[in-house]
């Protein structure tokens, strides 16, 4: 790329995202022409896609930075994941949708608890996968059904379970509400702790700057 021409200008000329041009330039500087050879399509686990998407949404990082960090050849892939996620679409591939080996059998009570936990924790599917030992596909489906139909949407309608009509006892309802509130309190407590830590660091930084200024003034006298 000629000196003085920005990646965005080249991208506009060839109808390619400037971020992708920037990534190609970086790969060329690092590996020469070998870095620009077409790589075989790579299948990324859904959990990894979620991790990258949530890092982009919560940590104010960029697509090129994430591509470098996770060694993803095409920065546009991350853009597609973020777009799908924010539009409410699943990040699973067709093969993953047909393969539920990573999931497990659950009761209606468990499905409601998991859906409530995900919602209370800002759609943290990665956390739900680790905490409850279920697959992304399961958690995603349960949250979608719970938002649409409530607890009735998470009934198990197969076989004899259909006869029970998915009715929860009052104790089960109270237990679920208690767990939902606990998850919300824990999330709010974490957010408060983070804010307090940031404020503490800011105070220290202000004090440090004052001390530096006083020290400089003392040297001038």
CA distances from 207 to 200, 201, 203, 216 (A): 11, 10, 6, 14
CA distances from 22 to 12, 29, 79 (A): 13, 11, 15
pLDDT, residue 138, reads 87
Q: Where are the chain's structural domains? A: 100-188
Q: Where is average pLDDT lowest: 29-33, 47-51, 176-180?
A: 29-33
pLDDT, residue 213, reads 73
Contact between 181 and 121 (Cβ < 8 Å): no
pLDDT, residue 3, reads 57
pLDDT tens column, 87-143:
778 887 655 554 444 578 898 889 999 998 988 887 888 788 888 998 888 888 898
CA distances from 86 to 31, 40, 79, 83, 159 (A): 34, 27, 11, 5, 36
CA distances from 8 to 1, 17, 83 (A): 12, 7, 20
pLDDT band at 163 (very low <50, low <70, confident <90, very high): very low
pTM over 0.85: no
Distance CA 131, CA 117 (A): 10
pLDDT, residue 114, reads 92
Contact between 96 and 162 (Cβ < 8 Å): no
pLDDT, residue 184, reads 72
pLDDT tens column, 184-206:
777 677 666 667 777 777 787 77
* Mean confidence (pLDDT) of the chain: 75
């Amino acid at each position: 790329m000629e000196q003085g021409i920005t990646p965005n200008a080249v991208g506009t000329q060839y109808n390619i995202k400037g971020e992708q041009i920037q990534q190609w330039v970086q790969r060329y500087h690092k590996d020469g022409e070998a870095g620009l050879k077409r790589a075989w399509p790579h299948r990324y686990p859904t959990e990894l896609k979620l991790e990258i998407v949530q890092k982009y949404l919560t940590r104010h990082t960029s697509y090129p930075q994430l591509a470098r960090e996770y060694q993803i050849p095409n920065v546009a892939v991350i853009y597609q994941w973020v777009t799908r996620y924010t539009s409410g679409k699943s990040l699973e591939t067709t093969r993953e949708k047909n393969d539920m080996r990573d999931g497990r059998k659950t009761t209606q009570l468990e499905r409601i608890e998991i859906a409530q936990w995900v919602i209370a924790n800002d759609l943290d599917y990665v956390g739900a996968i680790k905490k409850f030992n279920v697959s992304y596909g399961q958690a995603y489906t349960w949250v979608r059904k719970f938002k649409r139909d409530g607890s009735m949407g998470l009934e198990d309608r197969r076989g004899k379970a259909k006869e029970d009509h998915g009715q929860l006892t009052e104790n089960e309802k109270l237990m679920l509400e208690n767990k939902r509130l606990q998850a919300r309190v824990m999330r709010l407590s974490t957010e408060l702790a983070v804010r307090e830590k940031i404020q503490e660091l800011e105070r220290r930084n202000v004090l440090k700057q004052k001390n530096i200024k006083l020290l400089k003034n003392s040297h001038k006298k």
